[in-house]
Structure 1
Amino acid sequence: MRVLVADDQALVRGAVVTLLGLEPDLDVVAEAGRGDEVLDLVRAHDVDVALLDVEMPGMDGIEVCRSLIASGMGVRSLIVTTFGRPGFVRRALEAGAAGFVVKDTPASELADAVRRVHAGERVIDGALAAESLIEGANPLTVREQDVLRAALGGAPIAVVAKAVHLSEGTVRNYLSSAMAKTATSTRAEAAVHARDRGWL
């Protein structure tokens, strides 16, 4: 099996590459520190399974997964992340990921997850799957997510509006709706609440 490992933390990436390299049937043929490097590497190295971190510069792992599906190359994606947030699981699966595990998964289980994903199975961390079911679907619309993402750093309404190409009044409406859905009283609380659940 030809494997790619994408993670912006060099130490973590190196550890995963080393651990998988100990498996006789797994061959790590490429590494990436940025999400926007993955597609070219997959093409160049005929990758079977791509292990993707969620948060990477250039393009996040969920977007990379979506792009790999759209490319039609047949590579299977396994999300391996520190961020065990239920919303990330749902978003990753909607993007076409074949699996989702957390980085503290034992090495033998990670290798087994790669094999199972390659064999066409879907592999999801059990605790995260249960949390995802309990948490339910992301209640935010795509536009509400865009606005909250832009508001995460505490930017003023005018800056958020410019970032998402909407009027200030429209941004206020989206923020009010998002605050109601997240049962929060400020836009900062709404943004943090949504981020912590993996909805952004």
Structure 2
Amino acid sequence: MIRVLLAEDQQMLRGALNSLLSFEPDIEVIAEVSDGLKAWEYIQHELPDVCVLDIEMPNLTGLELAEKIRQANLPCKVMIVTTFARPGYLQKAMDCEVQGYLLKDEPIDYLIETIRKVMKGEKVVSRDLAATLFMKEQNPLNEREIAVLQLVKEGLSTNEISKKLFLTKGTIRNYLSTSIQKLQVESRQQAVQVASDKGWL
């Protein structure tokens, strides 16, 4: 029996997946959770065979969870499911050594078959995404620029970012300016949008 944990913040989708997987004679959904932190607590205690993780969840994202599982050297297989066909996200997932990366619009049969394949040690990436593995776009932003843009994304002002990162307001403005130049946009909001779309934040 393949013991599966479902972590998905959309209740209707999570419930539907649970119901459909429950029809499979060799799959048992041992838990369904709505956020990454609950998933992490459950994973540590129950050690599911396969973790099916939404990429964007409250508290911990699917990618952050995948990284925690890898760093803790837990035996769980990890599948990321997402609505976003972003090369940056896919690259992060590969860096976290996930076994599966699927788009949510794949047929349920494909998801079920992927669970069985990753359990056997195979790696599966949605067909529509496979090509993006060969078109890796280098992230031009450095760690500081990413940190500053992430805080802009969270709605913080230059003054608030300055206090949070213990840097002067001038330094923060310089990081924003170089980010805007590197991403070839005209404002910090546009920089956040582009970096988010590419999966760099």
TM-score w.r.t. structure 1 length? 0.92
The amino acid of 1:183's aligned partner reads Q
Q: Structure 2 vs 1, CA of residues 146 and 109 (structure 1 numbering), >3 Å: closer, same or farther?
A: same
Would you say 1:107 and 2:119 are equivalent positions?
Answer: no
Shift of 1:68: 0.8
Shift of 1:153: 5.2
| Cα distance between partner residues in 2 of 1:120 and 1:166 | 46
| Cα distance between partner residues in 2 of 1:72 and 1:23 | 28
SS, match of residue 52 in structure 1: strand
TM-score w.r.t. structure 2 length? 0.92
**Structure 1 partner of 2:179:** 178
**Structure 1 partner of 2:145:** 144
Would you say 1:97 and 2:98 are equivalent positions?
Answer: yes
Shift of 1:102: 1.0
Give the % identical residues: 37
**Structure 1 partner of 2:49:** 48
Q: Which moved more, 1:72-81 or 1:120-129?
A: 120-129
**Structure 1 partner of 2:135:** 134
Q: Structure 2 vs 1, CA of residues 147 and 111 (structure 1 numbering), >3 Å: closer, same or farther?
A: same
Contact 2:6 2:51 in 1 (8 A): yes
Would you say 1:194 and 2:192 are equivalent positions?
Answer: no
RMSD: 1.7
SS, match of residue 16 in structure 2: helix
Shift of 1:110: 0.4
**Structure 2 partner of 1:30:** 31
Contact 2:158 2:173 in 1 (8 A): yes
**Structure 1 partner of 2:60:** 59
Deviations 1:113-147 (A, max 9, x none): 11111211111112223235335132222221111
| Cα distance between partner residues in 1 of 2:12 and 2:120 | 29
| Cα distance between partner residues in 2 of 1:41 and 1:174 | 39
Number of matched pairs: 200
| Cα distance between partner residues in 2 of 1:61 and 1:161 | 29
Shift of 1:154: 5.4
SS, match of residue 161 in structure 1: helix
Contact 2:88 2:200 in 1 (8 A): yes
Q: Structure 2 vs 1, CA of residues 49 and 64 (structure 1 numbering), >3 Å: closer, same or farther?
A: same
Q: Which runs of 4+ in 1 moved over 4 A?
A: none
